[in-house]
Every structure is written in C-alpha cells, then in structure tokens.
C-alpha cells in the first residue's frame, strides 16, 4: 500500500485539487465478467462507445479497438446494446 498523507498535509473538506485523476483509480479490479470483442461480427457502429458509462471503449480513427480493462467494471451494457452480438461477456476466472 502506498504511504498515505496525514491530516495536516491534505486539502480540507475532501477537496481534490488535481483534475482528471479518476484514471489513477483502477476500477477494473471490481470486474466479475469481462467484455470481449468478436472481431468478425463488429461493424464499428460505435453504439458501445456511446453507451459505456466508464469511457472504457477504446476508439481509434472511427474504429472500435477494444476495451480499457483498467477501468471497465464489467457492467455488460456494451454487450447488451450491441445490435450485432459482437461483444461477449466472459467470466474473469478464465483470465486469472
């Protein structure tokens, strides 16, 4: 565990002074099921990108490039909204 600061050395009131630090919080560890892209079915419609509540769909040049597994919590919304059945939810046990 990293060393935590004492009460005299943190901003008061729970304030966080740096912007964009949510990326340091690895919420991917909460996941039970992992979304997996089925390359042959994906049409790059990017509906998954629009729906993902955690911005964990990686997109490059209008193409769906996979998932940010550091932050995907495995909610399964992407698999649910995909019109082509191109995302499968698989048990994390398979990847341990």
**Contact residues for other proteins (CB under 8 A)?**
4-7, 10-17, 19
Q: Nearest approach, Cβ of 27 to other proteins (angstroms)?
A: 11
Q: Nearest approach, Cβ of 90 to other proteins (angstroms)?
A: 29
Q: Which lies closer to other proteins via its Cβ, residue 28 or residue 35?
A: 28
Q: What is the 8-class DSSP label of residue 3?
A: P
Q: Nearest approach, Cβ of 24 to other proteins (angstroms)?
A: 12
d(CA 65, CA 63): 6
Q: Which lies closer to other proteins via its Cβ, residue 10 or residue 50?
A: 10
Beta-strand pair 63-67/87-91: unpaired
Among 70, 28, 80, which Cα is nearest to 50's?
80
């Amino acid at each position: 565990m990293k060393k935590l600061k004492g009460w005299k050395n943190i901003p008061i009131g729970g304030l966080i002074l740096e912007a964009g630090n949510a990326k340091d919080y690895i919420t991917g560890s909460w996941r039970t099921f992992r979304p997996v892209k089925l390359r042959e079915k994906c049409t790059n419609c990017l509906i998954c990108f629009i729906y993902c509540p955690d911005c964990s769909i990686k997109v490059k040049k209008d193409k769906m490039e996979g998932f940010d597994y550091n932050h995907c919590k495995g909610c399964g919304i992407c698999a649910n909204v995909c019109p082509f059945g191109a995302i499968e939810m698989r048990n994390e046990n398979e990847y341990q």
